[in-house]
Structure 1
């Protein structure tokens, strides 16, 4: 049977799961494979690939250049790469991001790898991309992932040069006034006069929180006020901008430590007392 036994080697994406992320019209997808014998013939990938490889060391050939990747590393694959991989025993979780979502002037370096510790939350990010139902949260998650890859030195971009000093304050003012609106990250960046990458950096630098997290906290604060005013829980989600009651409950419990219903009962009990 030889080194690999009798099992047939998987070719490319055979026996993998490929899932589109919500809200990106196919421009972001997540591919997963359990650990098994697999090979990739020559292929061209027109996406930014961020792939956690599990198993032993692994070799990939990029544009004729062999790259030996240590076990349990994260592969960074630039858009437009011509690559292949000989037979080896690996598993992987890979997030692919289309060119339209990347910085317009990005100059990508050679395909490379980083330790898994450089992106410890990659699997969690991949999971959230599939199940998250909040468009703003999804856009912010992808932008932060791209920004992390850029910060790791995999790309250079001058998009940060377009930063406006008051962009964070403009975005904050809009969110405080229109916290219930279903604004997208791109729309918010346009209103602030900058790009989505710069906006997240500037906002986090100014307020130690991302725009989406700030919006969620505003919605939760307003929910608390409505509950204290006696508004029924089931009426509040659309008022404050959540898609449904379960969406509200999930975020409320994470921020407040209680479900909305328990918070309402606590408030009523304090009034009685």
Structure 2
């Protein structure tokens, strides 16, 4: 396939193995043209700057900064860009099919996204945050939860506008089982599949039920547990690097960012102040 490229081409492509090898792309260029082609995946395109004109469905359609471009799998199209920057997620057909069955028990249609260009600020920002997060290292539970929540929003606000999500009940028993599991495995790399296996709930329903009951998603609850235990270990005099390792963080930098976000001060400062306060037989934080 011939690609006409003008200048300033910058492209980054990466995959997320734990999300069924999800492919992501970040591209910047002054101008380019793609001849007619198609993808086996569903392409979710976030236009950050410039414009992207896509020819398909018996016409030409131009998306601008802040717009979502949704191209269905096996949909023949050509593209022309002017000073464009965009981010792309390529969703496999089976990912869409599984998501639909989890949400509505709804069968996948061959052409699922009926609208090519979507103007939806909330959806755009949600997908952009997900894309940026998936460029960084994080826990399995965090990535899977963020992905499931974003895809639910995508489907309910676009192709699923005529459908309604089932209401999430209290499901106290399931929530308590999840909390107990996370408390027992707070330092482990818990996956969303681990939580669905102990509750028999779909990933999408599980996330909604847990958030409704607790006020945050499971991965944030796990992070809170990690930081609570980290504070205890720091007060016991353990080093920051050792505490980061024992509480399940990837590295000391990841631990420090999470600790400061929740506690308000870096772990090193917290540790030093704990030693001072302990000498005075009092406590902090």
TM-score per shorter chain, which class? 0.7 to 0.9
Segment drifting more, 134-143 vs 66-75: 66-75
- Find 2:132's aligned residue among 127, 132, 150: 127
- Find 2:33's aligned residue among 32, 39, 52: 39
Tell me, what secondary structure is at the counterpart of 2:157? helix
State the alpha-carbon separation in 2 of the partners of residues 247 and 122 from structure 1: 22
Quote the offset at 1:218 in angstroms. Answer: 0.5
Q: Unmatched 5+ residue regions in structure 2? A: 281-285
Identify the residue that residue 247 of structure 1 maps to in structure 2. 254
Quote the offset at 1:219 in angstroms. Answer: 0.6
- Structure 2 CA distance for partners of 1:90 and 1:270, relative to 1, 3 Å: same
- Structure 2 CA distance for partners of 1:86 and 1:250, relative to 1, 3 Å: closer
State the alpha-carbon separation in 2 of the partners of residues 170 and 146 from structure 1: 25
In the TM superposition, what whole-angstrom CA distance separates every residue of 1:141-181 from its partner, at most 9, and x where no partner exists?
A: 22122122123132379996697834333222211222122
Quote the offset at 1:86 in angstroms. Answer: 4.2
Segment drifting more, 219-228 vs 78-87: 78-87
Identify the residue that residue 112 of structure 1 maps to in structure 2. 116
State the alpha-carbon separation in 2 of the partners of residues 92 and 136 from structure 1: 27
- TM-score (normalised: structure 1): 0.82
- Please say if 1:148 is aligned against 2:143: no
- Structure 2 CA distance for partners of 1:141 and 1:215, relative to 1, 3 Å: same
- Find 1:95's aligned residue among 89, 94, 97: 89
Tell me, what secondary structure is at the counterpart of 1:76? strand
In the TM superposition, what whole-angstrom CA distance separates every residue of 1:57-114 from its partner, at most 9, and x where no partner exists?
A: 5432334454343554121233343322246553312222333433153642314322
- 1:250-265 equivalences under 5 Å are 250-265=257-272
- Structure 2 CA distance for partners of 1:54 and 1:267, relative to 1, 3 Å: closer
- TM-score (normalised: structure 2): 0.79
Q: Is the 8 A contact 1:75 1:113 kept in 2?
A: yes
State the alpha-carbon separation in 1 of the partners of residues 189 and 48 from structure 2: 38
Segment drifting more, 187-196 vs 101-110: 101-110
Q: Unmatched 5+ residue regions in structure 1? A: 1-7
Q: Is the 8 A contact 1:39 1:87 kept in 2?
A: yes
Aligned residues: 264
